[in-house]
């Protein structure tokens, strides 16, 4: 494997005031940072790490060998470029601040809330409307569980679960995402409403899926995974630090999607917390999440109620992981994640609003404190 170089924004600041040229804005959002960690990987071995002040980043990049220099320059450009909003027909969700995506499972066997709305699309749609009223920018509807050990669902059954809910929510004006890895389900949902597709397989499960997305020109989330749901948690293993393997894998999936005709600005990425990862892998990914801004795509973080929260809190069951879920959502916001996919909508929205209030206060000039 050739030498690879990675840039991770760090040294986050309360405010950029008085630091002109010494602070950079992260992805057009509400965060500013003062330094970049530049990591060089030689195959599976870390060849070097430097902490570079923002005002010296371009000079440091210019000093790299040609291939590394080009990759680092692309990553730097991606890190400081604003993210395009997500468009759902007439609806627009801006990505210059963290937004909440509500999880609406219409399955009998999801790990956290399976069966609660099965067979009652009107009830499920009412719940989706309530999520939107509570502050969710997007409602993510899923008809197939992809929890560890889950078996695939026939596409006809998945459509029967998802479509009536999507149709009802579309009439309410809710911005919708559909969590599926099957082209037929994507087509059915897209025929009913202008939806985003959230594919846990990153368009690898169904050979027609990339074509469907490209033709519809809809936004799509590409999620990292290691193995299918049936076996992904049996013995997760990475030859290199998990953060860099996930980065490289997502970079390759972005390139494949673009080659298939999907516009880069329509692509979001998800590190796939819990999808072929140990507790330690999950923690490393969340700690290093800001590295993924170098891919140039908005980031979705889905850590809500995941099993590793229970592992770190006395084996708390899924319905008792609210505190851990909110803590992880705020950690994601602190690293610039644009979408936070959660079960506990009202609580997370409140936490994000407080986070936003703190950022607004920090970014409001105070003449008495200016140099």
pLDDT at 194 (0 to 100): 97
Q: Contact 285/226 with Cβ under 8 angstroms?
A: no
φ/ψ (deg, to 5) at 360: -60, -40
- Mean pLDDT confidence for 306-313: 95
Task: Report the 10 Å Cβ neighbour count for 47.
Answer: 12
- The verdict on whether 215 is a catalytic residue reads no
Q: What is the DSSP letter of 96?
A: S
pLDDT of 125 above 90: yes
pLDDT score for 142: 95
For residue 268, name the pLDDT band (cuts at 50, 70, 90): very high
Task: Report pLDDT digits (tens) over 76-124.
Answer: 999 999 999 999 998 999 999 999 999 999 988 554 555 555 668 999 9
H helix runs in 39-140, sequence order: 57-62, 66-80, 121-133
Token pair, residue 15, equals: 């405010």
Please give the average per-residue pLDDT across 294-315, as a whole number: 97
pLDDT band, residue 368 (cuts 50/70/90):
low
Lowest mean pLDDT among 1-15, 28-42, 178-192, 339-353: 1-15
Tokens of 253: 């999936």
Q: How confident is the model at residue 218 (pLDDT cuts 50, 70, 90)?
A: very high
- The active-site residue, picked from 147, 182, 341, 359, is 341
- How far apart are the two ends of the chain, measured CA to CA in Å? 49
Q: Which residues belong to CATH 3.20.20.20 in the chain?
A: 86-359
Pairing of strands 32-42, 45-53: antiparallel
CA angle 243, 248, 252 (to 5 degrees): 145
Q: What pLDDT is stored for residue 112 in this prediction?
A: 54
Asked if 306 is an active-site residue, the reply is yes
205-210 mean pLDDT: 97
Span of 8-17, 64-73, 116-125, 301-310 with lowest mean pLDDT: 116-125
pLDDT class for 371, splitting at 50, 70, 90? very low
21-45 pLDDT tens trace: 999 999 999 999 999 999 999 988 9
How high is the pLDDT of residue 370? Answer: 53
Spatial separation of the C-alpha atoms in residues 64 and 350, rounded to whole Å: 44
146 vs 105 pLDDT, higher one: 105
Tens of pLDDT, residue by residue over 325-364, are 999 999 999 999 999 999 999 999 999 999 999 999 999 9
Residue 252 neighbours by CB distance under 10 Å? 11
* Catalytic annotation, pick one of 25, 306, 307, 321: 306
Mean residue pLDDT across the chain = 94
Residues of the chain with pLDDT > 70, as a percent, come to 95
The pLDDT tens digits for 72-84 are 999 999 999 999 9
Tell me the pTM: 0.94
Distance, CA of 161 to chain centre: 25
Helix (H) or strand (E) segment spanning residue 286: helix 279-287
Q: Return the CATH class of domain 86-359.
A: alpha beta
Q: Is the pLDDT assigned to residue 149 strictly greater than 90? A: no
Helix, strand, coil shares of the chain, percent, nearest 5, are 40, 20, 40
Mean pLDDT of 264-269: 97
């Amino acid at each position: 494997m050739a030498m690879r170089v990675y840039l991770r924004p760090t040294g986050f600041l309360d405010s950029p005031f008085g630091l002109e040229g010494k602070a950079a804005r992260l992805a057009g959002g509400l965060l500013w940072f003062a330094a970049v960690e530049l990591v060089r990987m030689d195959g599976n071995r870390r060849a070097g790490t430097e902490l570079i002040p923002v005002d010296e980043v371009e000079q440091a990049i210019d000093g790299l060998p040609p291939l590394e220099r080009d990759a680092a320059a692309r990553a730097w450009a991606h890190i400081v470029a604003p993210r395009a909003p997500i468009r759902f027909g007439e609806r627009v969700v801006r990505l210059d601040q963290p937004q909440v995506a509500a999880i609406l499972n219409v399955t009998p066997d999801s790990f956290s809330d399976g069966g609660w709305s099965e067979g009652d699309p009107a009830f499920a749609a009412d719940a989706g409307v309530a999520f939107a009223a509570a502050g969710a920018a997007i409602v993510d509807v899923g008809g197939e569980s992809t929890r560890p050990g889950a078996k695939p669902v026939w596409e006809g059954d998945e459509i029967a679960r998802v479509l009536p809910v999507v149709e009802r929510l579309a009439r309410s004006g809710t911005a919708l995402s559909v969590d599926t890895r099957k082209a037929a389900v994507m087509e059915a949902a897209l025929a009913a409403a202008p939806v985003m597709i959230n594919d846990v397989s990153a368009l690898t499960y169904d050979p027609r899926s990339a074509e469907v997305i490209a033709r519809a020109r809809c936004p799509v989330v590409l999620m990292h995974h290691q193995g299918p749901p049936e076996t992904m948690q049996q013995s997760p293993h990475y030859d290199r630090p998990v953060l860099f393997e996930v980065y490289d894998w997502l970079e390759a999936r972005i390139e494949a999607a673009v080659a298939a005709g999907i516009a880069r600005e329509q692509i979001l990425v998800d590190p796939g917390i819990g999808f072929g990862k140990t507790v330690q892998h999950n923690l490393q990914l969340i700690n290093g999440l800001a590295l993924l801004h170098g891919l140039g795509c908005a980031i979705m973080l889905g850590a809500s109620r995941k099993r590793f929260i229970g592992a770190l809190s006395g084996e708390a069951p899924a319905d008792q992981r609210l505190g851990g879920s909110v803590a992880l959502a705020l950690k994601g916001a602190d690293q610039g994640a644009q979408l936070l996919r959660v079960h506990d909508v009202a609580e997370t929205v409140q936490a994000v609003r407080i986070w936003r209030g703190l950022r607004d206060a920090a970014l409001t000039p105070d003449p008495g404190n200016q140099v």
